[in-house]
Chains A and B, each alone.
Chain A
Amino acid sequence: MKICSNCILPETFPGISFNAEGVCVYCQRFEGKETRLSEDKNKYEGKFFELLSQLQSSPQRSYDVLMAYSGGKDSTYTMYLLRAKYKLRVLALSFDNGFISNTSHRNIKKVTDNLGIDHVFFKPRWDILKKIFTYAAEKELYSKKTLERASTICTSCIGLVKSLCLKTAIEQNIPMVAFGWSPGQAPVQSSIMKNNPSFIKMAQDAILEPLKGVAGDDIASYFLNEWHYAQPERFPYNVHPMAWEFYNEKMILEEIEKLGWEEPKDTDTNSSNCLLNAYANDLHIKKYGFHPYVWEIANMVREGVMPRDEGFQKIYQKQPEQLIEIARRKLDVE
């Protein structure tokens, strides 16, 4: 299989083409934009400080930021930055999809305790999750564009996480929701963004209707309702600080290990918390011919935050069979 000689995107990736040197069209488009990226990172860090001074800690609020906390390395490091560097009052929310590894459960407890952070678990009904995951394993649920960035199973989970975090932030009047997106997952231009009610409603409706068709109307309780939309002043900012912060996986691991975080040995190379990921990856690779994490990792290789051989190792290896089997058994699928 032909793979870009600069990043790691394969010839099977949507919309790809290569020049005579074997460099993909996405790398060609990035040429000359390195300086702009560096300027944007500084700009958005400045914007974040402005936002913090604008929001200023208020005694009427219990928390400054709601952290979408998976227990994985990136959200752990992001939460550490929010607490230790930016001195914010953090409420962590973890979504239990039924596949959190035992190590990750321990990590969540140790890190929140060591950082002095209040934490809540949200565990949706298993029958609802099971219907969504088994359907997403076989069929497409969302726009084609989402398939470039994640498996349909992952997109389903993340959609629920985003919605629950937004809903909780509105209900608790928390002015920011933070995510641990890596620099390859989301562009710096989206790293500080005020949630707009009409935009959110339209985006939510687009995914809620198909999900209702799969899991029934009860799933609507995980999404915003008319009461939430009637509080536009409570709609928070979404922030993902790793878009502008220095990113280096080794440094991140060293830092979070000081908080008691242990690297799970029971997950695949692209997740440090989820036991469903390998199954979702395997299905995606077989169906579409490319790894659902390749876009994210290729972005990081292209932008120089991850060495190419490291990115290559993460993507081009077989998914662990024992993890695939765990997921199949739990979901009762062949």
Chain B
Amino acid sequence: MTTGQIQQTVKKFILENILFEDNEDVIKNDDSFLQKGIMDSTGVLELVRFIEEEYKISVDDEELIPENLDSVDNLAKFIKGKTG
């Protein structure tokens, strides 16, 4: 599984479940979810629940930081690091 594939999966989830949009251009991979108003902190937790199920990983409390979760890029790097 490449970082690019993870980015695609995460982006697809956000478009279908959070933004309800077909147009991929509405979100860039480095857009901050919170600063750009793409989702609120509850939305980020929903995303965490999705990646835990999708990638069979467990996200610890101390990993719930913007550097891991606040953009498609950050999430993909974080997931890649967790799954090896």
By a beta-carbon cutoff of 8 Å, the part of chain A in contact with chain B is 14-15, 142-146, 149, 186-187, 189-190, 193-194, 196, 198-199, 202-203, 205-207
**Nearest Cβ on chain B to A143's Cβ, whole angstroms:** 4
**Nearest Cβ on chain A to B51's Cβ, whole angstroms:** 11
Among the listed A145, A187, A196, which residue makes an inter-chain contact with B49, where contact means beta carbons less than 8 Å apart? A187
Number of interface residues of B (CB under 8 A): 28
By a beta-carbon cutoff of 8 Å, the part of chain B in contact with chain A is 16-20, 32, 34-35, 37-43, 45-46, 48-49, 52, 61-62, 64-67, 69-70
Contacts beyond the supplied A144-B19, A189-B45, A203-B40: 19 A-B pairs with Cβ under 8 Å: A14-B20, A15-B16, A15-B20, A142-B37, A145-B18, A187-B45, A189-B49, A189-B52, A190-B42, A193-B45, A193-B64, A199-B41, A199-B64, A199-B66, A199-B69, A202-B34, A203-B41, A206-B34, A206-B37
| A63–B52 CA distance with the chains assembled, in angstroms | 34
Instruction: List residues of chain B with CB within 8 A of the CB of A196.
Output: 61-62, 64-65
| A294–B17 CA distance with the chains assembled, in angstroms | 17
| A186–B25 CA distance with the chains assembled, in angstroms | 30
Among the listed A142, A187, A189, A193, which residue makes an inter-chain contact with B40, where contact means beta carbons less than 8 Å apart? A142
Instruction: List residues of chain B with CB within 8 A of the CB of A146.
Output: 40, 42
Task: Sample 8 A-B pairs with CB under 8 A, ordered by A number.
Answer: A194-B62, A196-B65, A198-B65, A199-B41, A199-B65, A202-B32, A203-B41, A206-B35
Instruction: List residues of chain B with CB within 8 A of the CB of A144.
Output: 19, 37
User: A202-B35, A206-B34, A206-B40 given as contacts; is B19 within 8 A of A193 (CB)?
Assistant: no
Instruction: List residues of chain A with CB within 8 A of the CB of B62.
Output: 194, 196
In the complex, the answer to whether A149 meets B35 with C-beta atoms within 8 Å is no
| A220–B32 CA distance with the chains assembled, in angstroms | 22
- Most chain B beta carbons < 10 A, residue from A14, A15, A186, A202: A202
| A198–B41 CA distance with the chains assembled, in angstroms | 12
Nearest-CB residue, chain A, relative to B68: A199
| A241–B60 CA distance with the chains assembled, in angstroms | 19
Among the listed B42, B66, B69, which residue makes an inter-chain contact with A145, where contact means beta carbons less than 8 Å apart? B42
